[in-house]
């Protein structure tokens, strides 16, 4: 299903390019050959290793009594297995030059992600990075939306986002374009990336993006 949805699948391909044969570069569901040979013992072993008290977060929301919530959580989770968190394979990033991955498939458009490595979700500049992402492609008045869609009509949808993990992260712009507009669109996006490196963002634009982020956080979301 995901492979039949290019705008969804391209994200998996991008992370595979970034992280290769590392858990961050793998498909969440796993490889077909692995799934076919799973046995009950594999699931039991995984459950024993990963589902321990120190690796669990309990989230509650709504109009509730705090003391009741504490007692209920203590009662319902007191029997959880105790143990160490599963070992996490550390990411080692060694990229020194641009990298490209292309998957050829018969589709109406070319879907692509263009991005850069950034930092993990503990980094002190993660909020500044979110603002930078908003300036580039965080809404209908963002630089890339105006440059790619409004002024040139190269794409209907273009946006920039940030993904941050425990010890790695990236900022990327995603777009779907007519095949013959791919090179032109990439040039426009790179021009905007370069402009951020060379020109200061105005106080007015900075305030606008911050207000947009605040509004997005405050708006209720329906899933």
pLDDT digit string (tens) for the chain, length 223 residues = 878 899 999 999 999 999 999 999 998 888 889 999 999 999 999 898 889 998 889 998 889 999 999 999 999 999 888 888 888 888 988 899 999 999 999 999 999 999 999 999 999 999 999 999 999 999 899 999 999 999 999 999 999 999 999 999 999 999 999 999 999 999 999 999 999 999 999 999 999 999 999 888 877 665 4
Does residue 69 share a domain with residue 30?
yes
CB 174 within 8 A of CB 11: yes
Does residue 139 share a domain with residue 42?
no
CB 25 within 8 A of CB 99: no
Question: Nearest CA to 112 among 29, 21, 45, 175?
Answer: 175
Does residue 213 share a domain with residue 108?
yes
Does residue 196 share a domain with residue 161?
yes
> Domain for residue 93, yes or no?
no
Does residue 164 share a domain with residue 61?
no
Neighbouring CB atoms inside 10 A of 3's CB total 11
> Domain for residue 13, yes or no?
no
CB 188 within 8 A of CB 148: yes
Pairing of strands 155-164, 169-177: antiparallel
CA dihedral 46, 167, 214, 62 (to 10 degrees): 20
CATH number for the domain that contains residue 126: 3.30.830.10
Does residue 202 share a domain with residue 113?
yes
Does residue 208 share a domain with residue 166?
yes
Does residue 136 share a domain with residue 34?
no
Does residue 127 share a domain with residue 213?
yes
Q: Please state the pTM of the whole predicted model.
A: 0.84
The SS3 of residue 181 is helix
Does residue 168 share a domain with residue 109?
yes
Number of domains the chain is built from: 2
Does residue 108 share a domain with residue 189?
yes
Domain residues for the domain of 178 are 104-218
> Domain for residue 6, yes or no?
no
Does residue 205 share a domain with residue 118?
yes
């Amino acid at each position: 299903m995901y492979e039949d949805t290019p705008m969804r699948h391209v994200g998996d391909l991008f992370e595979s390019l970034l992280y290769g044969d590392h858990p961050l570069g793998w498909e969440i569901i796993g490889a077909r050959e692995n799934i076919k040979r799973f046995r009950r013992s594999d699931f039991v072993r995984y459950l024993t290793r990963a589902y321990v008290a120190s690796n669990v977060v309990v989230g509650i929301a709504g109009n509730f009594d705090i003391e009741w919530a504490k007692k209920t959580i203590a009662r319902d989770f007191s029997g959880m297995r105790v143990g160490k968190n599963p070992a996490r394979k550390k990411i080692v990033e060694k990229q020194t030059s641009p990298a490209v991955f292309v998957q050829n498939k018969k589709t109406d458009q070319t879907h692509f992600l263009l991005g850069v490595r950034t930092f993990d979700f503990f980094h002190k500049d993660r909020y500044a990075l979110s603002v930078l992402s908003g300036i580039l492609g965080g809404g209908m008045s963002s630089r890339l939306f105006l440059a790619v869609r409004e002024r040139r009509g190269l794409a209907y949808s273009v946006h920039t986002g940030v993904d941050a993990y425990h010890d790695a992260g990236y900022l990327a712009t995603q777009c779907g374009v007519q095949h013959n507009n791919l090179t032109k669109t990439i040039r426009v996006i790179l021009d905007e990336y370069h402009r951020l490196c060379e020109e200061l963002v105005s106080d007015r634009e900075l305030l606008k993006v911050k207000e947009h982020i605040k509004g997005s956080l405050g708006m209720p979301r329906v899933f």
